[in-house]
Structure 1
Amino acid sequence: MARRTQSRFIFEVVENSRIFRHQFFVNGSRRAECNTCENHVPVSEPYNHHWRNDIKNQKSYYIQMGLPEKQILKTIEDQAIEEFILCDGSIAARTNDFLLDAGMDAVPQLLRFLSFGTEKLEATVGFYVDVKKERMYYESSPINIENHLDIGEAVDMIFSMLLEKISNYVLLHHRVPLEACVIRRMKVTVKRFCHSPKANSFSVSKIPLQYRVKNAAECFESANNKSSVELAKLAETYLNQKDQGRPIPATLKVNLYIFRVCNTSKELYAVPYLLHGEDVENTPTFIIQTDVVGGFQGLLEIQNIRKFLREDTKDRVFECRQCQSHFVDRVHLALHKQISCGRNFMVWHMDKDAIELHENCLPLPKEYFKYEWIGLASKRI
């Protein structure tokens, strides 16, 4: 029997404290409690006091964007930079270490930075591969990323499929396993689709893919279905409470939820931020959307909060009808379909001794990115 890992998130009241816990289960039996999620507040405090330090504590998912970082982003926009080269100068030389650091840290960090101020990103990833005496370049098809909380899953899917393609290719044409390949260089191409200047200041981006693909389409109602005055008033009340410490009046019967990410398991989940209505069927309920720096983006009304929060507990496998690949997660299946099962991935054969020359290169500051990214400008300023 395969090990099936699940988790749950609970609030527990002990004496005068309310404790938030994240518990892991294997085949239905509890095995561990997550110590990176657990936190305590007095039972009389509102739920949002559990999440006061989210931006500081969840650095893997929220970034800092001060004046120097905004200037870097402006330079990227002015020079129309869409291609970024990552070399092995700042990552361990072994292929496995390079891929691990690039997939877990370097590429997600770059994409989170580039997602600031955008509605979506269109990202393509390419690996430079040396095998025997040959050099090849493998490139994925583009994938759309419409919420910064989807970046980790999207990068993981592209890396997995690229490595599967490379493995199959070298096994067929060179009769060697993937372990015989050397990968120490990669290119990421990113097209940024920025917010329209005319966009409503309280308009929301799409919710994370995990919540878009679950069977809960009827859970959501576009914020446009609410009057703009009503939404603006609620948003202003929320911002005053958050920024100026003013409590949301108890007379305002509304329930608010936010998204969080577990620092240990990287799971995304929704938790209560404010509960002012016990009648969940009739109390207006909203999910708070935030951007990649933790700034307020808007509110999305949830019509069926129970279904929205409920996990899919059925032990099932999802099959792609096009290629018969199997997945245990709807998100992975949706990403797999978006890149057409990898059918449009490309491979180029290169002269191993060839040297690439690029003009107008922009080295991204290592003190911010930690890795040696080089932006390739398409025009001068």
Structure 2
Amino acid sequence: MLRRTYSRFIFETIGDSRVFHHQRFINDLQTDCPTCKSCVETREPYSQHWNNDYGAGTSHQIKMSPVERLLLKRIETERIEAFMLCNGSVSGRTNDFLLEAGMEAVPQLLRFLSFGAAKLEVTIGFYVNVKKERMYYESSAMSVEHHLDIMESVDMLFSMLLEKISNYVLLQQRVPLEACVIKRMKVTVKRHVSPISVQWRSTARLPLQYRVKNSDIGTDNRAHIDTVLAQICQSPSHKFNVVLLPDALQANFYCFRVCTSTKELYAVPYLLRTDDVDNTPTFLIHSDIAGNFQGLQVIRNVRKFLRADGQDRVFECRKCKSRFGDRVQFALHKRIDCGRGFMVWHIEEDAIELHHNCLPLPKAYFKHDWFGLGTKKTEKLH
């Protein structure tokens, strides 16, 4: 039986304060999220609830200082697309390694590589030892078109890989998945880079969670709004500056936020000028992985856009009969064709894998034992 889980995001006015709550429900049992609560004065815009996310450690966005930008430039210059992660933990247990890699190490690497990229093509491979046999299992490539899809995509690739490994070793060697030892993994990432430009009519893709809902996104034909917002988008700022909005402009704005505890993605108000949501122009603020403003997109039906996707329906894959209670996971499952393109290679027991021109990634930033596998001689960057 699938668990019925859903969340509710509410604002409560207490005196002169406005309090934001994230409430989580599992089979109708309510729990309050410890990381999403915030309180500001009621006269402040809603954006004040989220402005301190980075400082409080509750932001999904990353820091890209000149040092990180130079590292990314070097990765591009040396055409590094493959990255190896080794189990550097004291325990060395496979479960701990996979959990940390899936929840932290791999998503962090992909978020870093997504900076300045329009799309990533990601392949993940596990080096597996079982009963004195060495194997390498690799997924097919998955296209990640929005940085907010990274966590769900990694989860799907990990789940499918482990399912394939489990079935294979049980059939071929009569042992369960728990008998396997995994101490290394390889992540191959092809970055598709496009010129970065801020447009008020943003053409950026929505996160998959909102694309599968068929959210009503379009354009607004009111000329006076076009003029005002076009001027704001052309102003030299990395953030959407609400101060530049004229007081007479009646429009509402929303942005995306990710819960630190549950990793849920949801849209929150950034600036609300009126409660008449049916007749007020409403816009989504697009930002990149570093929080840089990328433009605006019109939300035609804000009620539909904000409504949580129902969890009471089960989706069944026609090809493999797998069942999903989540529409996003079902879409990702279909994107990799039920895992049909996954491969397994047997490695000779005494084989030695040599890599030249390796680039250790700084643990001060990545916090894990990553190194890039270069394909070009190192060149001095100017």
TM-score range, shorter chain: over 0.9
Q: Where in structure 2 are the equivalents of 1:1-381 lying within 5 Å?
A: 3-29=3-29, 31-58=30-57, 61-90=60-89, 92-196=91-195, 201-202=199-200, 203-214=202-213, 216-217=214-215, 219-221=216-218, 229=227, 231-236=229-234, 246=243, 248-313=245-310, 315-380=312-377, 381=379
> Structure 1 187/13 Cα, relative in aligned 2: closer, same or farther at 3 Å?
same
Q: Distance in 2 between matches of 1:331 and 1:298?
A: 25
Q: Distance in 2 between matches of 1:350 and 1:131?
A: 12
> Structure 1 24/188 Cα, relative in aligned 2: closer, same or farther at 3 Å?
same
Q: What's the offset of the Cα at 1:229?
A: 4.9
Aligned residue identity for 2:45: P
Q: What's the offset of the Cα at 1:58?
A: 4.7
Pick which of 282-291 and 155-164 moved more.
Answer: 282-291
Number of aligned residue pairs: give it: 376
Give the SS at the match of 1:167: helix
Give the SS at the match of 2:210: helix
CA contact (8 A) 1:86 1:374 kept: yes
> Structure 1 280/343 Cα, relative in aligned 2: closer, same or farther at 3 Å?
same
Q: Distance in 2 between matches of 1:84 and 1:240?
A: 30
Q: Distance in 2 between matches of 1:164 and 1:225?
A: 52
Q: Distance in 2 between matches of 1:350 and 1:101?
A: 25
Q: What's the offset of the Cα at 1:3?
A: 4.0
Pick which of 281-290 and 179-188 moved more.
Answer: 281-290
Q: Distance in 1 between matches of 2:14 and 2:279?
A: 30
> Structure 1 206/33 Cα, relative in aligned 2: closer, same or farther at 3 Å?
same
Q: Quick one: percent identity of the two aligned structures?
A: 59
> Structure 1 142/3 Cα, relative in aligned 2: closer, same or farther at 3 Å?
closer
Q: Distance in 2 between matches of 1:91 and 1:275?
A: 50
> Structure 1 91/288 Cα, relative in aligned 2: closer, same or farther at 3 Å?
farther
Q: What's the offset of the Cα at 1:28?
A: 3.0
Q: Distance in 1 between matches of 2:130 and 2:93?
A: 14
Q: Distance in 2 between matches of 1:111 and 1:330?
A: 23
Aligned residue identity for 2:5: T
CA RMSD of aligned residues (A): 2.3
CA contact (8 A) 2:199 2:296 kept: no
- TM-score computed with the length of structure 2 as normaliser: 0.92
Q: Distance in 1 between matches of 2:17 and 2:308?
A: 27
Give the SS at the match of 2:49: helix
CA contact (8 A) 2:287 2:295 kept: yes
Q: What's the offset of the Cα at 1:5?
A: 2.2
> Structure 1 267/170 Cα, relative in aligned 2: closer, same or farther at 3 Å?
same
Aligned residue identity for 1:155: V
Segments of 5+ residues of structure 1 without an aligned counterpart are none
- Deviation digits for residues 123-170 of structure 1 (CA, Å, limit 9, x no counterpart): 000000001011000000000111111111100000000000000000
Q: Distance in 2 between matches of 1:174 and 1:24?
A: 42
- TM-score computed with the length of structure 1 as normaliser: 0.92
> Structure 1 224/204 Cα, relative in aligned 2: closer, same or farther at 3 Å?
farther
